[in-house]
Amino acid sequence: MSPAASATTTETSDDAYRATERTVPTRSRERASWDRDLVHSVLDEGYVCHLGFVRDGAPVVLPTLYARVGERLYVHGSTGSRPLRGAGEEAGLPVCLTVTLVDGIVLARSAFHHSINYRSVVVHGTAYEVTDPAERATALDALVNHIVPGRADDSRRANAKELAATAVIRLDLEEVSAKIRSGGPNDDPEDLTLPYWSGVLPVVPAYGTPLPAVGLDPAIATPSYLTRRGEM
Amino acid sequence: MSPAASATTTETSDDAYRATERTVPTRSRERASWDRDLVHSVLDEGYVCHLGFVRDGAPVVLPTLYARVGERLYVHGSTGSRPLRGAGEEAGLPVCLTVTLVDGIVLARSAFHHSINYRSVVVHGTAYEVTDPAERATALDALVNHIVPGRADDSRRANAKELAATAVIRLDLEEVSAKIRSGGPNDDPEDLTLPYWSGVLPVVPAYGTPLPAVGLDPAIATPSYLTRRGEM
């Protein structure tokens, strides 16, 4: 979907983020998308993001968990952490939040055309601290349910002391784009007869057998939301 | 390993990166490490990094492939890409390169103690374009061999036209730290008898059956470096 197309009708505009100068890539533009459903699907399938911010003029990139609620992302952490403190300032914290899912390793006959099949989402914006207690509760539930669907109701929710130690920041989905590479290798025609294997090695999400905590009451069965996950 | 300990003997100093103000975390310091072997093992196991840089004062985080050769990381891309152009300037490009491996989802009885088992490496530094032809060749081989060990010798290496279109940047491993979380949940003592399952859901790297490219000569067998990978 091109940004020009997305601006022509209300219907399309509802389904796509508006492309901006920094969400239109200079390279491999055909891999870029602003489609809202696609962006949501990538954000919902991943659970670790890489959060970038600027500190003393230099970039910092840290991995962290996140969750999406509608058109808003949430990240949480200790009230003492650097980026979360920055988001607590009135001006907020300029961030870039990136989520990448790897789907396969692409082996071409030529070294040059080796690649990765992936789906990524890059969100540019300003992160702000969430102070409203109801929104904080929604965000914290979403963060737990995002890594393990249904888990918030099957654990002890945060108490006052834990809530006081936890900062939640929000980042609205406004300046967002996805980038996707899929399919087989793109070898040049003159390379197609070279004697090298070519194709895709799929990368698949996989989970091992759930390991109960030391001392867990043996009467507590492994929940179905964990055993099901192995079948994803 | 603490930064203080790492500075006490030559032997330890050889095996660890020197901790700096920005590689000592403000939080969960017990999870941080500057151990050289550990840093290398994380960098060698991963193959997608998140590269952060500053553009017009704002952070940008993009996923990309990388490879390590000794104490140097390489990233490549089109000569037209933004960060690679920046690294071609005489002053280089300040970057933060982060690699994250997810090992498990940690379910505690309390929502607050839910976590992820992970190993991550954060590299701060300045990236420069590599112009020496021999070093460029080494880097390009390393980039292919890093995603598929042994593949550089089993593919057509880049020709002059492809080399001219490819920029390679280097980032030395000087200001580096790892962060690790492993093991089971850290529930508070008073929560240990709550009726919620707790433990770890292991996340394991997994690969599907290699998919040959459309039109691949059926006489070309799937190479052992791919079938072996499924056993990792």
For B229, which residue in chain A has the nearest alpha carbon? A201
Report CB contact under 8 Å: B212, A197: yes
Please compute, for residue B37, the number of CA atoms within 13 A of its CA located in the half-sphere on the CB side: 4
Can you give the pLDDT at residue A230?
55
CA gap A152, B110 in Å, rounded: 9
The answer to whether residue B230 scores a pLDDT higher than 70 is: no
The answer to whether residue B11 scores a pLDDT higher than 90 is: no
The answer to whether residue A224 scores a pLDDT higher than 80 is: yes
In a domain, B222, yes or no: no
Q: What is the average pLDDT across B58-72?
A: 97
User: Which of B55, B187, B204 has the CB atom closest to A207's CB atom?
Assistant: B204
Report CB contact under 8 Å: B111, A155: yes
B126 in A contact zone (CB under 8 Å)? no
How far, CA to CA in Å, does A112 sit from each of B22, B77, B190?
36, 10, 57
For B53, which residue in chain A has the nearest alpha carbon? A59
User: Which of A96, A166, A196 has the CB atom closest to B155's CB atom?
Assistant: A196
Which segment of A143-157, A195-209, B16-30, B148-162 scores lowest on mean pLDDT? B16-30
Residue that wins the pLDDT comparison between B228 and A25: A25
In a domain, B210, yes or no: no
In a domain, B139, yes or no: yes
User: Which of A61, A212, A222 has the CB atom closest to B98's CB atom?
Assistant: A61
The answer to whether residue B7 scores a pLDDT higher than 60 is: no
Q: Residue B85: is it exposed, middle or buried by C-beta count within 10 angstroms (0-12/13-18/19+)?
A: middle
Structural contact between residues B180 and B100, judged by C-beta atoms closer than 8 angstroms = no
Residue B98 belongs to a domain with what CATH number? 2.30.110.10
Structural contact between residues B48 and A116, judged by C-beta atoms closer than 8 angstroms = yes
Provide the shortest C-alpha distance from residue A11 to chain B (in Å). Answer: 30
Q: How confident is the model at residue A8 (pLDDT cuts 50, 70, 90)?
A: very low
Structural contact between residues A196 and B155, judged by C-beta atoms closer than 8 angstroms = yes
What is the average pLDDT score of chain B? 91
A194 in B contact zone (CB under 8 Å)? yes
What tens digit of pLDDT does each residue of A37-83 get?
Answer: 999 999 999 999 999 999 999 999 999 999 999 999 999 988 878 77
Q: How many CB pairs under 8 A join A and B?
A: 288
Contacts of B201 in chain A (CB under 8 A): 148, 207-208, 210-211, 226, 229
Can you give the pLDDT at residue B4?
38
CA gap A7, A13 in Å, rounded: 6
Q: What is the average pLDDT across B7-22?
A: 67
Can you give the pLDDT at residue B147?
94
In a domain, B149, yes or no: yes
Contacts of B63 in chain A (CB under 8 A): 50, 98, 100, 118, 120
**Alpha-helical segments (H) within B26-159:** 36-45, 82-87, 133-147
Number of domains in chain B: 1
The answer to whether residue B33 scores a pLDDT higher than 50 is: yes
> For residue B102, which of A28, A119, A102 has the smallest C-alpha distance?
A102
What tens digit of pLDDT does each residue of A95-121 get?
Answer: 999 999 999 999 999 999 999 999 999
- CA torsion A20→A26→A30→A36, rounded to 10°? -30
The ipTM (two decimal places) reads 0.92
User: Residue A138's Cα: distance from chain center in Å?
Assistant: 18
Can you give the pLDDT at residue B27?
77
For A125, which residue in chain B has the nearest alpha carbon? B58
Residue that wins the pLDDT comparison between B198 and B13: B198
Can you give the pLDDT at residue B161?
96
Can you give the pLDDT at residue B81?
82
**Which residues neighbour A203 within 8 Å (Cβ) at sequence distance 6 or greater?**
A102, A103, A104, A105, A117, B205, B206, B207, B208
> For residue B173, which of B91, B67, B25 has the smallest C-alpha distance?
B67
Report CB contact under 8 Å: A203, B205: yes
B39 in A contact zone (CB under 8 Å)? no
Can you give the pLDDT at residue B59?
97
The answer to whether residue B10 scores a pLDDT higher than 90 is: no
Unique residue bearing structure tokens 């890093």: B146
In a domain, B191, yes or no: yes
A147 in B contact zone (CB under 8 Å)? yes
The answer to whether residue B34 scores a pLDDT higher than 50 is: yes
| Range of the structural domain that residue A208 is part of | 3-231
The beta strands (E) that lie in chain B are given as: 32-33, 48-55, 58-65, 67-69, 72-78, 93-107, 115-129, 166-172, 175-181, 199-207, 211-212
> For residue B61, which of B75, B72, B47, B49 has the smallest C-alpha distance?
B49
B213 in A contact zone (CB under 8 Å)? yes
Can you give the pLDDT at residue A205?
87
Can you give the pLDDT at residue B227?
81
How far, CA to CA in Å, does A213 sit from each of A170, B95, B183, B200, B202?
32, 39, 9, 7, 12
Contacts of B159 in chain A (CB under 8 A): 112
Segment 47-66 of chain B within 8 Å of chain A by CB: 47-48, 50-55, 57-63, 65
Can you give the pLDDT at residue A2?
36
Report CB contact under 8 Å: B207, A201: yes
The strand pair at A166-172 and A211-212 is best described as unpaired
Contacts of B81 in chain A (CB under 8 A): 26-27
Residue that wins the pLDDT comparison between B230 and B129: B129
Report CB contact under 8 Å: A107, B157: no
Q: Residue B27: is it exposed, middle or buried by C-beta count within 10 angstroms (0-12/13-18/19+)?
A: middle
CA gap B178, B98 in Å, rounded: 10
Q: How confident is the model at residue B186 (pLDDT cuts 50, 70, 90)?
A: very high
Report CB contact under 8 Å: B112, A221: no
